[in-house]
Amino acid sequence: MTDVATLLDAITVSAHAGRAIPDAASGEVIGYAPVHTVADLESAIAAARDAQQTWAALGHEERSRILRLAADEVEANAEELAHIIAREQGKPLNGPGARFEAAGCAVWIRNAADTVIEPELLFEAEGTRSELHYVPLGVVAAIGPWNWPALIGIWQIAPALRMGNAVVVKPSSYTPLSVLGVVELMNRHLPAGLLTVVSGNREVGSRIASHPDIAKVMFTGSTETGREIVRSSADNLARLTLELGGNDPGIVLPGADAAAIAEGLFWGIFINTGQTCAALKRLYVHDSVHDEVVAALAALAESIPMGPGTSEEALLGPLSTPQQFEIVSDLVADARERGARIVTGGEPAPELGSQFYRATIVTEIEDGAALVDEEQFGPVIPIIRYTDLDDAIARANATEQGLGASVWGEPGEARRVADRLESGTVWINQHGTLNPMVPFGGVKASGYGLEFGAHGLKAVAAPKVITV
């Protein structure tokens, strides 16, 4: 086991050689991240190419064995990793927070190692047999976000390695330490050069997508940046998996039990203080249960403790960046100016720190308001009253994004509504719950490609048909 200071020493550089990374809650410098250049990227890709063929030749069984050792290492140091995540990104240690994220890294590595991929029999007749195999691509680039930096990094890294690829990782400039930390732990068991973090700027990110030696780019982030990656990858024809933004709707049906669904709704909305791509971002509630749902959510919003990530009591944390704090503040201010009702919250919590914003419930608001139409990515939920279910479904679908959605109420009716929602995933009486065996991905402007389970493994490999 490694203590936090030792792990930080292994992944940070001196002040004059790096960029200061602040604690999201206090602003205190945690450490200095390396500032890599395009030249560093070129070196990392060259090393990855050299390491990849030997790694691929090991075969599934041996690669899986090594990945299980890496998972054990991450698990043994999960508490230390969690403290880095809690400080750098801001999510609290407890609840669905930093300890949850660190533990999830080990779970997803093991799942990638344990999932069986067999050749698929396509056709067989006398004298002929055709099989579909999945073979390594080469070097995979993993470009991650700042909201779940270590866990989403692992979602990209672990399956790519399992399928015989090398990986070059570009973390968010806001949260590089979490990614450097989990990769440091994995690299205690992986061959040199196979997995490398390049902690650089946008220039480095742009070069990754267009690099001729990158066979695939996995990206989680904004739709705008996703479109840039598509354009950059045009010349080298790199394969892409893009998990882009979401403005996930939820629909609460007539007859739903407000008390029974309130906690599930709350964490579907406010997990990671609302800073989750597949969090519930707008909630359509039938008039018959509207007031009860609003009251139940407001009571939870007022009772759930908020504080710095390292607090053992807090379950909600700060906004991760000053920019995100401003976005959330501006969206709530615009809703207030439009005449929306702020049921609870609607203001910063300066006594906690400069990037804290209280959990906020907004009603008497309609589609067309920026808070409804745009992804707020913060601790705010607009609740829209409806009377006609067909209209609510049409509103839920009236967005360019389609990452997740949820329906709350009697399961049979909810299932029928789910069929009509335009989304990569629709949850019933839950929202945002992910399973390493269940594929996840968006439609429309929320991206394309699948992650997790066998489908995710196949997405980081090249299909190869062998006919005998």
Q: Report the C-alpha gap between 247 and 264 in whole angstroms.
A: 18
Q: Given 88, 277, 375, 451, which residue is catalytic?
A: 277
Helix (H, G, I), strand (E, B), or coil: what is residue 91?
coil
- Whether the CB-CB separation of 153 and 169 falls below 8 Å is answered with yes
Asked if 160 contacts 143 with a C-beta cutoff of 8 angstroms, the reply is no
- Neighbouring CB atoms inside 10 A of 91's CB total 32
Catalytic site includes residue 105: no
- Rounded CA-CA distance 421/389 in Å is 12
The first and second tokens of residue 229, run together, are 């990656």
Write the CA distances from 435 to 129, 212, 425, 438, integer angstroms. Answer: 35, 34, 12, 5
> Which of 75, 80, 243, 451 is the catalytic position?
243
Q: Which secondary-structure segment (H or E) carries 463? A: strand 461-467
CA atoms within 13 A on the CB side of 161: 38
Instruction: Name, in order, each residue with C-beta under 8 angstroms of 65's C-beta and a sequence gap of 6 or more.
Output: 113
Residue 277 annotated in active site: yes
In 3D, which of 260, 255, 329, 324 has the Cα closest to residue 288? 255
At residue 374, the 3 state secondary structure works out as: coil
Token pair recorded at residue 260: 């029974």
| Contact call for residues 140 and 215 (beta carbons, < 8 A) | yes
How far is residue 269 from each of residues 47, 298, 380, 465, measured CA to CA in Å? 42, 12, 8, 44
Residue 182 to residue 70: CA distance in whole angstroms: 10
End-to-end CA distance of the chain: 51
Rg of the chain (C-alpha set): 23
* The amino acid at 85: I
Query: Beta 360-363 vs 380-386: how paired, if at all?
Result: parallel
H/E segment holding residue 239: strand 239-243
- Which residues are known to be catalytic? 243, 277
